[in-house]
Chains A and B, each alone.
Chain A
Amino acid sequence: MTVFFQQVVSGLAAGGVYGALALALVLIHRATGVINFAQGEMATFSTYILWTLTANHGVSYWPAFAVTMLVSFVGGIGIHQAVIRPVERGSQIRVVIVTIGLLLLLNGLMTFIWTGEIRAVDSPFPGGTLDVHGVVISYRDIGTIAVCLGAVVVLWAFFQFTKVGLALRAAAVNPAEARLVGIRVTWMLGLGWGLAAVLGATAGVLTAPSVFLDPNMMQTVLIYAFAAAVLGGIDSPIGAVVGGLILGVGLNLLGAYVDFVSELRLPAALLVILVVLLLRPAGLFGTPQVKKV
């Protein structure tokens, strides 16, 4: 039983990261109607900013974290304005292709600026562990879970209780109507991209301490985030987070109890995507699409 809880807790930490990145995907899907394939590289880019500030310029962790989030936010808005907005009115496949182009561009840019060499990124949390009735929990896992949940709660409160948050939701669900009440929809969509970039950056800096930073760091995490978003429902913010946690815990448990799965984590995530899309395309929390003909 101890092993079980051990795996659940570390699974929750991984799941929190998947959930944060999945939520970023959901935000952009709701705003722009597509999957942002560049979300992982955007997150990695943000992590490099944090690494540069802390390792090269001697900035202490949390100020560097704040600057990283700010730069990511502005960068997300900038990406929307510069490359997404011009193709937004066309077919969705154009936007998808642009995000794939963005993936390649950012990846190349990172290799160019920071070389492909792997870098160690510090964790902001102490290295020790906590013993709860024999279950050993690292402070790092606790911190990761806390930051992910914190980010999700703050975001939820923003959407639920602020005027701008409400306007952003309105712009996403019904842009034509939103313009009629005076909402500048393009600004709101840009804001959605900015918030998604911040969430992605959070996922990136929390992933880096355990895997080392290189330009491809978030590529597998992005696959898990896809699976989490599909599992929870690609239009459901709550679904993304719950999907991330289920996936994190589930994969960890499978890895601990079924011998061969530890090497097959990635295919297992792809299997989740396939099964959900076949059996329940709307996901656990999504609303099934009804198309009027």
Chain B
Amino acid sequence: MSALLELRDVEARYGPVQALRGVSIDVPEGAVVAVLGANGAGKTTTLRAVSGTVRRSGEILLAGKPLRGGPEAAAKAGVAHVPEGRGTFTELSVVENLRLGAYTRRERSVKADIERMADHFPWISDRGEQRAGTLSGGEQQMLALARALMSRPRLLMLDEPSLGLAPLIVREIFRIVRELNEKEGLTVLVVEQDARIALNAAATAYVLEVGKVAVSGSSAELRDDEAVRRSYLGY
């Protein structure tokens, strides 16, 4: 498998604080890859570096072509970034959120795709006019996911999809992600603090520590790794 996304020695900083100190990650086409780590390890910044929402240096290649410029350029290149804490337009309706997800595409097939989203998330069809801000936390996370899928992304990036959600809803979200990956070959890069969930969903994973990759390998290997188990799985 060739890598869809390659990060080579990526560095990023917020003012004086260096968040990434040379991170290299490969995301193969059609794979689910997880990034694990403690708070402040640089997980979110890794995704932000890819989508161009933080100043970064080093090389980031999408299908061999360097990603440059801001998030508009990344979106156009096919990167769909679901940021931490429910990436929705809370003041706009559910359908408007979905339409915005398809902003980089032509208008014609958008309607069909909204119906496709309603297959994954049946509640969408009844509540298209509802304001996103009035949805429950789980529904907002699902809407954020659906909105990202509306762009028909080459790469889906999820930032802490489990944050603050009930286990049942988290399982549902990961089930849909896995289904899209298996049936449609969607490539996913997911950042998770809950290592157990992430290792279940992903084939390979990277563990970040203070802005560097500390360990990486297949999910099975990491699950057996003594240090990873103690620090992130807690048994």
Pair A181/B101 contact, Cβ less than 8 Å: yes
Is B212 an interface residue when CB atoms closer than 8 A count as contact?
A: no
B70 neighbours in A (Cβ, 8 Å): 179
Q: Which of B137-151 contact A (CB under 8 A)?
A: 147, 151
Q: A163-B99, A167-B103, A176-B53 are in contact. Are A182 and B76 (CB under 8 A)?
A: yes
Is B161 an interface residue when CB atoms closer than 8 A count as contact?
A: no
Identity of the chain A residue whose Cβ is nearest the Cβ of B70 in the assembled complex: A179
Pair A182/B103 contact, Cβ less than 8 Å: yes
Pair B75/A180 contact, Cβ less than 8 Å: yes
Q: A167-B100, A167-B103 are in contact. Are A180 and B53 (CB under 8 A)?
A: yes
Pair A173/B72 contact, Cβ less than 8 Å: no
- The CA-CA distance from A178 to B99 in the complex, in Å, is 12
In the assembled complex, how far is the CB of residue A2 from the closest CB belonging to chain B, in whole angstroms? 44
- The CA-CA distance from A184 to B103 in the complex, in Å, is 11
Is A166 an interface residue when CB atoms closer than 8 A count as contact?
A: yes
- The CA-CA distance from A179 to B88 in the complex, in Å, is 12
- The CA-CA distance from A167 to B72 in the complex, in Å, is 13
**How does the 8 Å CB contact mask read for A39-51 relative to B, with 1 for contact and 0 for none?**
0000000000000
**How does the 8 Å CB contact mask read for B86-109 relative to A, with 1 for contact and 0 for none?**
011111100010011101100100
Is A289 an interface residue when CB atoms closer than 8 A count as contact?
A: no
The residue that B71 contacts in the complex, of A169, A170, A174, A179, with Cβ under 8 A, is A179
In the assembled complex, how far is the CB of residue B103 from the closest CB belonging to chain A, in whole angstroms? 5
Is B83 an interface residue when CB atoms closer than 8 A count as contact?
A: yes
Pair B92/A183 contact, Cβ less than 8 Å: no
A173 neighbours in B (Cβ, 8 Å): 89-92
- The CA-CA distance from A210 to B71 in the complex, in Å, is 50
The residue that A181 contacts in the complex, of B90, B91, B103, B107, with Cβ under 8 A, is B103
Pair A169/B92 contact, Cβ less than 8 Å: yes
Is B51 an interface residue when CB atoms closer than 8 A count as contact?
A: yes
Q: A166-B99, A167-B103 are in contact. Are A182 and B92 (CB under 8 A)?
A: no
B92 neighbours in A (Cβ, 8 Å): 166, 169-170, 173
**How does the 8 Å CB contact mask read for B160-200 relative to A, with 1 for contact and 0 for none?**
00000000000000000000000000000000000000000
In the assembled complex, how far is the CB of residue B111 from the closest CB belonging to chain A, in whole angstroms? 13
A177 neighbours in B (Cβ, 8 Å): 83, 87-89
Pair A180/B51 contact, Cβ less than 8 Å: yes
In the complex, number of A-B residue pairs with CB atoms less than 8 Å apart? 59
- The CA-CA distance from A181 to B75 in the complex, in Å, is 6
In the assembled complex, how far is the CB of residue B6 from the closest CB belonging to chain A, in whole angstroms? 21
**How does the 8 Å CB contact mask read for A160-175 relative to B, with 1 for contact and 0 for none?**
0001001101100110
Pair B71/A180 contact, Cβ less than 8 Å: yes
- The CA-CA distance from A181 to B147 in the complex, in Å, is 9
Pair A163/B87 contact, Cβ less than 8 Å: no
Pair B83/A180 contact, Cβ less than 8 Å: yes
A180 neighbours in B (Cβ, 8 Å): 51, 53, 71, 75, 81, 83, 87
Identity of the chain B residue whose Cβ is nearest the Cβ of A184 in the assembled complex: B72
Pair B89/A179 contact, Cβ less than 8 Å: no
B101 neighbours in A (Cβ, 8 Å): 181
Identity of the chain B residue whose Cβ is nearest the Cβ of A287 in the assembled complex: B91
- The CA-CA distance from A169 to B131 in the complex, in Å, is 14
- The CA-CA distance from A181 to B98 in the complex, in Å, is 10
- The CA-CA distance from A217 to B147 in the complex, in Å, is 48
- The CA-CA distance from A180 to B72 in the complex, in Å, is 6
B103 neighbours in A (Cβ, 8 Å): 163, 167, 181-183
Q: A173-B89, A174-B89, A180-B53 are in contact. Are A166 and B72 (CB under 8 A)?
A: no
For the complex of A and B, list the 9 residue pairs with the smallest distance between their C-beta atoms, beginning with the closest.
A182-B75, A182-B104, A179-B71, A173-B91, A181-B103, A180-B71, A182-B103, A181-B100, A182-B72
> 13 A-B residue contacts at CB 8 Å?
A163-B99, A166-B92, A166-B99, A170-B89, A174-B90, A174-B91, A178-B100, A180-B81, A181-B75, A181-B100, A181-B104, A182-B103, A182-B104
* Additional 10 contacts, C-beta under 8 A, given A163-B99, A170-B92: A166-B100, A167-B103, A174-B89, A177-B88, A177-B89, A180-B51, A180-B81, A180-B83, A182-B103, A183-B103
Interface on B for A, CB 8 Å cutoff? 51, 53, 70-72, 75-76, 81, 83, 87-92, 96, 99-101, 103-104, 107, 147, 151
